Amino acid sequence: MAARAAALKAEDHPEEFMSGARLILKALEDQGVEVVFGYPGGAVLPIYDELFKQNRIRHILVRHEQAAVHAAEGYARSTGKVGCVLVTSGPGATNAVTGLTDALMDSTPIVCLTGQVPTHLIGNDAFQEADTIGITRPCTKHNYLVRDAEQLARVIHEAFHVARTGRPGPVVVDIPKDVSMGQGRYAPPLQSASAHKTYRPRTAPDPRAIREAVALMARAKRPVFYTGGGVINSGARAVAALRELLALTGFPITSTLMGLGAYPADQDQWLGMVGMHGTFEANLAMHGCDLMIAVGARFDDRVTGNLALFSPGSRKIHIDIDPSSINKNVVVDVPVVADCGEALEALVAAWKAETAPRPGLAAWWRQVAEWRGRDCLHYEQKGPVIKPQHAIQRLFEIAKDRDPFICTEVGQHQMWAAQFCGFTRANRWITSGGLGTMGFGLPAAIGAQIAHPDALVIDIAGEASALMNIQELSTAVQHKAAVKLFIINNQYMGMVRQWQEMLHGARYAHSYTEALPDFVKLAEAFGCAGLRVSDPARLDGTIREMLEIPGPVVCEVAVDPAENCFPMIPSGKAHNEMILSAQDAAAKRITGEGLALV
């Protein structure tokens, strides 16, 4: 009855009908959207016209649609909000696909509005037509084609709800031009999370699972926490509860690449990152533990190494909001399907109430101390060439008091950044983990900078990755995003070269980049400041200069081209088969099935 009454009322009030484009903007406003990253084109002209007429939502014009999504990811990951993207049909949508896939793999909440050809032309191979729904189905959490302006507001609200709740992810809303030009009525946002008829992610843990988990924790002699990006996605409550639980239990903790910053790296319980380029102590603790408590992590192959040999003697507790993450790669004893924050808070309460006598952890910590004694990240900065690790370590040391946001591209520099930047806060580390997208960092840094105009935002890059979306310097200049692009230039696709060295007889097939640009001139051509340093004695001064320049800066650091990233768990090997140095690498050749793994 209420709906019917509202409909009758609308007929009396034709002003309640609005254009599709206006409905879109109103829905975005009601979702709290402040910034849209986008690129115009024919199919979205009505939406751009509506953007032009208002001042509440800021539009950041990128130079490529892939960068629009990465920028929205940087915005989302640095704020915890949903990132919003607007691109046109056909090439606009297909260019966004890499960004959408990246956001799906790293569970980043994105709503991407794509233009579409008018409904009567769909399927006719019209100009700039692509089957966006078909193409993006496997690289989004969900997608929608809106065929009627009357449905626009409801669908956009639902898209935001799906993107931000449960395991977050990208959602595409495909809007034909006749729909954005049509007329419809507005619908307010969903009133509650349970309002959706099918999509109702479970957030509260089952008390029985919590009881079993705490019983295992209370008996553990060699426990380790293994946390991931899910803790950060869950938000401040999860981060606070994690820290409290760590303080209460005194257990050691390691984290995936995506989870860095949830637990402070300057604490004694912190073991460093786990996985292929994780620390000796973190990987051996994972291998030797008797209880693993996985929180918001998904047992990715970069974390587990050889699955058959993964942590053979442990019971496993796995907290994840996505039931499909549980028992996917590793069979676990106690699954907890829940939001990390709610589950961790429940564990804190249950741990406080648990009175069973607990075995001491002194022996386990003595073992950890012994592993730490290996000093696995050791390198030597000597001679006239800058070591890449040294450049990154100095950068973080000099910048850390300014609470910087650190973005990266993908490769050796990314792993060194993960190893040497000691994050103490969540949402400060923005990197492409699951998909490993070169070209992610610069646009992501711009997105983070737009969200935090006064913060220090640095993209640690390799010269190869930096070139993949270098056009975004133009975006940074236009929108006064003072990002610092810190390029570790070793003239190689360093990680590719490292693998070729270890797996393919040092035949460096196409991993050396000839004809690199002059990055200082390139920066200047875009209207940025450009700096270059190759002398170790001038490194600190150049970093300080970069940080002091008010606008966007490109700082190129010429580094040792032969340096490799260690420790490394070679493909097909277990956590206790790490390579710790170049000498070690020669002794442990990768053979057999390991060669076929990525």
Partner 1 sequence: MGETRMAKFEEAPHSIYEGMVPVARLKDGHVYRHVISLLVDNEAGVLARVSGMISGRGYNIESLTVAEIDRDRQLSRINIATSGTRQVIEQVKAQLGRLVPVHEVRDLTDEGPCVARELALVKVACVGESRAEALKCCEIFRASVVDSTPQSFVFEVIGDTAKVDAFIDLMRPLGLVEVSRTGIAAIARGAAGFLKDSN
Closer Cβ to partner 1, 47 or 334, answer by number? 334
Task: Kindly state the number of chain residues that form the binding site for partner 1, as judged by CB under 8 A.
Answer: 28
Closer Cβ to partner 1, 51 or 334, answer by number? 334
Q: Which residue has the tokens 């999860």?
A: 238
CB neighbours of 591 closer than 8 A, spacing ≥ 6? none
Letter for the amino acid at 470?
A: I
Contacting partner 1 within 160-179 (CB under 8 A): 162
Give the containing element (helix H, strand E) for 301: helix 301-304
Part of the chain binding partner 1 (CB under 8 A), chosen from 35-43, 121-129, 191-199, 445-453: 191-199
Closer Cβ to partner 1, 206 or 354, answer by number? 206
Closer Cβ to partner 1, 162 or 539, answer by number? 162
322 binds partner 1, rule: CB under 8 A: yes
- CB 79, min distance to partner 1, A: 24
From the list 65, 73, 158, 281, the catalytic residue is 65
From the list 81, 177, 484, 573, the catalytic residue is 177
400 binds partner 1, rule: CB under 8 A: no
Give the containing element (helix H, strand E) for 585: helix 582-587
Active site residue 420: no
Dihedral (CA of 120, 121, 123, 124) sign: positive
DSSP 8-state secondary structure symbol assigned to residue 237: H
C-beta separation of 167 from 321 below 8 A: yes
Part of the chain binding partner 1 (CB under 8 A), chosen from 287-295, 326-334, 373-381, 439-447: 326-334
Q: Residue 553: helix, strand or coil by DSSP? A: strand
Part of the chain binding partner 1 (CB under 8 A), chosen from 19-27, 96-104, 320-328, 342-350: 320-328
Part of the chain binding partner 1 (CB under 8 A), chosen from 6-14, 106-114, 136-144, 505-513: 136-144
C-beta separation of 231 from 345 below 8 A: no
Q: Which residue has the tokens 């989870």?
A: 259
- CB 196, min distance to partner 1, A: 8
Active site residue 128: yes
Using CA atoms, how far apart are residues 410 and 33, in angstroms rounded to an integer? 29
295 binds partner 1, rule: CB under 8 A: no
Q: Residue 292: helix, strand or coil by DSSP? A: strand
Backbone angles phi, psi at 189, to 5 degrees: -60, 160
Closer Cβ to partner 1, 191 or 198, answer by number? 198
C-beta separation of 157 from 187 below 8 A: yes
Rg (CA), the chain: 25
**Which neighbouring-strand residues pair with 127?**
none
Of residues 30, 206, 301, 397, which one binds partner 1 by CB under 8 A? 206
134 binds partner 1, rule: CB under 8 A: yes
190 binds partner 1, rule: CB under 8 A: no
Active site residue 484: no
Which tokens in the block code for residue 10?
Answer: 């609308």
Question: Taking CA 296 as the corner, what is the angle to CA 292 and CA 299, rounded to the nearest 5 degrees?
Answer: 60
Of residues 247, 327, 370, 521, which one binds partner 1 by CB under 8 A? 327
**What string of H, E and C letters represents the secondary structure of 342-375?**
HHHHHHHHHHHHCCCCCCCCHHHHHHHHHHHCCC
From the list 17, 34, 128, 244, the catalytic residue is 128
Closer Cβ to partner 1, 321 or 448, answer by number? 321
- CB 468, min distance to partner 1, A: 26
Using CA atoms, how far apart are residues 188 and 558, in angstroms rounded to an integer? 54
From the list 273, 493, 495, 568, the catalytic residue is 495
**Which neighbouring-strand residues pair with 37?**
60, 85
Q: How far apart are the first and last CA of the chain?
A: 59
Of residues 8, 193, 331, 582, which one binds partner 1 by CB under 8 A? 331
Question: Taking CA 297 as the corner, what is the angle to CA 292 and CA 298, rounded to the nearest 5 degrees?
Answer: 100
154 binds partner 1, rule: CB under 8 A: no
Closer Cβ to partner 1, 142 or 372, answer by number? 142
**CA-based nearest residue to 473, from 463, 465, 483, 464:** 483
Using CA atoms, how far apart are residues 259 and 361, in angstroms rounded to an integer? 25
335 binds partner 1, rule: CB under 8 A: yes
Part of the chain binding partner 1 (CB under 8 A), chosen from 139-147, 241-249, 264-272, 363-371: 139-147
Of residues 313, 323, 527, 541, which one binds partner 1 by CB under 8 A? 323
324 binds partner 1, rule: CB under 8 A: yes
- CB 23, min distance to partner 1, A: 21
**CA-based nearest residue to 415, from 501, 356, 488, 343:** 488
Of residues 14, 52, 125, 197, which one binds partner 1 by CB under 8 A? 197
Using CA atoms, how far apart are residues 286 and 226, in angstroms rounded to an integer? 8
Active site residue 405: no
Using CA atoms, how far apart are residues 176 and 182, in angstroms rounded to an integer? 10
- CB 323, min distance to partner 1, A: 5
Cβ neighbourhood burial of 126 (10 Å; 0-12, 13-18, 19+): middle
Of residues 336, 343, 483, 488, which one binds partner 1 by CB under 8 A? 336
Of residues 333, 397, 501, 540, which one binds partner 1 by CB under 8 A? 333
501 binds partner 1, rule: CB under 8 A: no
290 binds partner 1, rule: CB under 8 A: no
Active site residue 65: yes
- CB 207, min distance to partner 1, A: 9
Closer Cβ to partner 1, 316 or 390, answer by number? 316
Question: Taking CA 28 as the corner, what is the angle to CA 25 and CA 34, rounded to the nearest 5 degrees?
Answer: 105
Q: Using the CB atoms, write b or e for 375-396: b if 16+ within 10 Å.
A: ebbebeeeeebbbbbbbbbbbb
Closer Cβ to partner 1, 340 or 585, answer by number? 340
133 binds partner 1, rule: CB under 8 A: yes
Binding site for partner 1 (CB under 8 A): 133-134, 137-138, 141-142, 145, 162, 197-199, 202, 206, 208-209, 322-324, 326-328, 331-337
- Active site positions, annotated: 65, 127-128, 177, 495
